[in-house]
Amino acid sequence: MSFSCSHRFTGLLCAEDSDEVLSGELPACSSELEYPATSIEESSIDDFIEGETNFIPGFDYLARFQCQSLDASAREESVAWILKVQAYYNLQPLTAYLSVNYLDRFLYSRRLPENSGWPLQLLAIACLSLAAKMEEPLVPSLIDLQVEGAKYIFEPKTIQRMELLVLTVLDWRLRSVTPFSFIDFFACKLDPTATFLGFLISRASDIILSNIKEASFLKYRPSSIAAAAILCAANEIPNLSLFNPEHAESWCGGLSKVSSTNV
């Protein structure tokens, strides 16, 4: 599908301390490597584990949905729309996840006016636009992003103002630690010969995206989500399905206890 594209927002991270930015990029694992999980990767994963709680909403965010001070169905509808646009343009799974991450972190810090649902749609569009500028080589225009069942159509200048508000609320911290910071590494741990690596990563990505609509998903840390998704994907491969989930805790220090039923 062809679409118009915009330039990358090269100044997005200007307010961040470069020493604190967690890139989420890990060296690829290859079957040609005798020890694909190198000590450098281990150190990076330890940093991600240590910093992952800095990029998720506060501990009481889920409770707000449970007591209905936040509308879980409205959030679910917004996330479903983001996933439709991601599929429409074949955007990266990380783009969709970051969009939802920005949306949740914003809603945790700032209450939107309750007005016919349009403020939440505007927020979803702004979050998706920012995530696409972070991760995609070609970014659909702000008008083109408003596809797949959008109830309202916003002018680009309106979306841009919302983007600036999101950036302000998130303190310009857009390069988040997500489950996608971990899945390559965990897949290598589970399959060191890289025989099923491509399937594990692809299937785990699908599992993660298929669950992000549920507000209850928010109670898990990104590392636990990634480990559980890899274990779920492994269950579909006879050679790996007998792996004991309890052993996943040995993949890296600080990994919370997970099982294949977490996601």
**Statement: residue 187 has pLDDT above 50:** yes
For residue 250, what pLDDT is reported? 60
Between 29 and 71, the more confident residue is 71
Q: What percent of the chain has pLDDT over 90?
A: 37
Domain-located, residue 31: no
Query: Are 149 and 205 contained in the same domain?
Result: no
Query: Are 105 and 155 contained in the same domain?
Result: yes
Domain-located, residue 155: yes
Between 248 and 171, the more confident residue is 171
Taking only the tens place, the pLDDT of each residue in 84-129 is: 999 999 999 999 999 999 999 999 888 877 656 788 899 999 999 9
Query: Are 187 and 251 contained in the same domain?
Result: yes
CB 23 within 8 A of CB 191: no
Q: Where is the domain boundary, 141, 169, 197?
A: 169
Domain, as residue range, for 105: 70-169
Q: Give the integer Cα–Cα distance in Å for 92 and 115.
A: 31
Looking up residue 84, the CATH number of its domain turns out to be: 1.10.472.10
Q: Tokens 């990358």 map to which residue?
A: 8
Q: Using pLDDT thresholds of 50, 70 and 90, give the confidence band for residue 31.
A: very low
For residue 47, what pLDDT is reported? 81
Closest CA relative to residue 36, chosen from 200, 239, 186: 186
Domain count, the chain: 2
Domain-located, residue 22: no
Query: Are 164 and 188 contained in the same domain?
Result: no
**Statement: residue 134 has pLDDT above 50:** yes
Closest CA relative to residue 210, chosen from 57, 107, 83: 83
Taking only the tens place, the pLDDT of each residue in 150-161 is: 778 899 999 999
Q: Where is the domain boundary, 145, 169, 193?
A: 169
For range 20-31, the mean pLDDT: 38
Domain-located, residue 64: no
Query: Are 236 and 255 contained in the same domain?
Result: yes
Q: Tokens 């409205």 map to which residue?
A: 74
